[in-house]
Structure 1
Amino acid sequence: MRIVAIGSRVFVTSFQLAGVKGVKVETPSEALTEINRMDENSGIGLVLLSDDIGKEIRYQLTSLRAKRPIPLIFELPSPGSKKERVDYRALLKQILGV
């Protein structure tokens, strides 16, 4: 399984330096389109998404996570972003439909 980073130029370049393939996007809708292209047959097991892009599409990402477990979509802080608290209990409830 491969890893792909999706986000701004700086976010993606930092992962490319470590040997991770990256997709540069400008808008959250572009990121969502790229994530929708990835399926279980693409060989991608982990998507590292910039949190500044993920904030605006978080609801759609949660729906995707509920429908398909692979690839795992994980949001990471983008360079210069502020610390944000995540309510994992609420996120899990949304994924499970409780």
Structure 2
Amino acid sequence: MGKLVRDGIPGVIRGAGGEPVVRVLGEGEYLGALVAKLGEEAGEVAEAVAGGGAAEVVEEAADVLEVLRALVRGVGVEWDEVERVAAEKRRERGGFEGRYYLEA
């Protein structure tokens, strides 16, 4: 089973003497692969928080951000729009700095 990889990974594999088998995904497949990649990367963030240091959390969070950017572009939205909506939601509802946990 394959997975979506960053654009430079086939070149890295070639540089190490390998010959990657790749194909370019169609739009529907691409969006599905991005959603799967987002889950994969979010899991890696969780693992880093549980057992890694701050540097590992930063590395994994950067991967999540890159996938999110690609996903947003994939549906035809500019990243600035995400930032605008996030800021609006933060103004209206706040962030998570208060650490509030709503009990059931």
Alignment TM-score > 0.5, same fold: no
Greater RCO (CA < 8 Å, at least 6 residues apart):
1
Larger Rg: 2
- The two structures have a TM-score, normalised by structure 1, of 0.35
- The two structures have a TM-score, normalised by structure 2, of 0.33
Give the number of the structure whose residues are more often strand, by fraction.
1
Give the number of the structure whose residues are more often helix, by fraction.
2
